Amino acid sequence: MNTAKAAEAKMKSNDFLTLLDYSPAEINQLLQEAIILKDKKLQNDSALPLKGKVLGMIFEKSSTRTRVSFETGMLQLGGHALYLNSNDLQIGRGETVADTAKVLSRYVDGIMIRTFSHKMVEELAENADIPVINGLTDKYHPCQAIADLLTIVEKKGELKGLQLTYIGDGNNVAHSLMVACAKMGMEFSIAAPEGYHPDKDVVSLCEEIASQTGGKITITTDPVSAATGADILYTDVWTSMGQEAENAKRIEVFQDYQINEDLVQYAKEDFLFMHCLPAHRGEEVSAGVMDGSHSVVFDQAENRLHAQKALLVQLLG
Ligand code: CP
Ligand code: NVA
């Protein structure tokens, strides 16, 4: 096997960079393991499958949920997590990604990374001998998507056939959700202003996957048509990390894309409101919907812990 092929094969079996590399059966298995681990936690079961294992966590962007859920998850599984701010690593002073991957592989058992460039994470994974987990890039946020699927299964009892409507920016969270929905045979609709639609390459991959799973992808500029009949209404910030300079313009462009009391009337009566958090009440969501009876945002946040523990056991165990 040549190096490129070997790297590709390794990425598929050992890394978690996007859900594109996971089959529906593998996603289901991960969800089942998460449910078992969550249940064990509730029963205070003290099995320590990652005793002595260390996860290195590289952060080039801020985080509350990802950092705390991975660190807590490792501790609960018997292991340890190291918080590595990229500014404090030599990578911030020009050491190559490849060299960093090779060195960290000699010390720790897995790497979780949150950064800007998805290509950088792929390069890290290609050069590391240990599993690499994507904790968010500009392109994808698969850890969020797996926790979101877990939350939907818990609340709705199934995934296939459900309609998830995303209102807002076609960003990293939207991309990973679209992949997750396509894989699981769900309908994914997104309403976003012209110029803020999801990337075409991700859309065409998802359309191809959906054609095999019975899912459906709809892309529109009209929030009302997208929200009509939805089982789940989902949104994320209008300005993602790294886009701060565009904030004023984005607030203007996205004005008609708020999930609020008017828009939710078009969804099913028992719709769920979901948000990956952090949220900006009064921007992408009204305070009433965010804190209302349909909102499951804090269950979603909790499920980051359980879903990632399943992932950690699978990759590092
Ligand atoms: N949803 C999410 O990834 O949150 P953090 O940015 O706080 O990690
Ligand atoms: N789209 C957001 C998600 C934060 C969890 C961002 O990238 O900032």
pLDDT tens digits along 27-74: 999 999 999 999 987 676 667 999 999 999 999 999 999 999 999 999
* pTM, 2 dp: 0.95
> Do 3-140+302-316 and 143-300 fold alike per CATH?
yes
> CB under 8 Å, gap of 24 or more: what pairs does 44-48 form?
48/77, 48/78
Write down the pLDDT at residue 135. Answer: 98
CA dist 181 and 24 (Å) reads 10
pLDDT of residue 46: 67
Is the pLDDT reported for residue 1 higher than 80? Answer: no
The string of pLDDT tens digits covering residues 243-273 is 999 999 999 999 999 999 999 999 999 999 9
Stretch 292-313: mean pLDDT: 98
- Quote the mean pLDDT of the chain: 95
Sequence-distant (≥ 6) Cβ neighbours of residue 44 within 8 angstroms: none
Closest CA to 76 of 36, 132, 37: 37
State which ligand 2 atom lies nearest to the alpha carbon of 61: 8
CA-to-CA distance for 254 and 246, rounded, in angstroms?
A: 12
What are the tens digits of pLDDT across the range 158-195?
999 999 999 999 999 999 999 999 999 999 999 999 99
- Give the number of other CB atoms < 10 A from CB of residue 241: 16
pLDDT of residue 47: 78
Q: Is 237 in the pocket of ligand 2 (CB under 6 A)?
A: yes
Question: Domain segments of the chain: what residues?
Answer: 3-140+302-316, 143-300
- Please compute the mean of the pLDDT values over residues 204-216 and round it to a whole number: 98
Distance 181 CA to ligand 1 centre (A): 20
Asked if pLDDT for residue 205 goes beyond 60, the answer is: yes
pLDDT in tens, 88-123: 899 989 999 999 999 999 999 999 999 999 999 999
Catalytic residue among 250, 304, 306, 308: 304
**What pLDDT does residue 108 have?**
98
For the domain 143-300, what is the CATH superfamily, name and number? Aspartate/ornithine carbamoyltransferase (3.40.50.1370)
Q: Is 236 a catalytic residue?
A: yes
In whole angstroms, give the CA distance from residue 3 to residue 42. 44
Q: Do residues 266 and 233 touch, judged by C-beta distance below 8 A?
A: no
- Look at residue 2 in the predicted model and tell me its pLDDT: 41
What is the pLDDT at residue 41? 75
SS3 131: coil
Is 175 among the residues known to form the active site? no
CATH code of the region 3-140+302-316: 3.40.50.1370
Tell me what pLDDT residue 25 has: 97
243 is catalytic: no
Q: What is the pLDDT of residue 3?
A: 41
pLDDT 10s digits, 119-166: 999 999 999 999 999 999 999 999 999 999 999 999 999 999 999 999
- Sign of the dihedral defined by the CA atoms of residues 57, 61, 63, 66, in that order: negative
Q: Which residue has the higher pLDDT, 88 or 229?
A: 229
Residue ranges lining ligand 1, Cβ < 6 Å: 63-66, 136, 144, 276-277
Residue 211 CA to ligand 1 centre (angstroms): 31
Residue 272 to residues 108, 166, 297: CA-CA distances in angstroms?
39, 12, 9
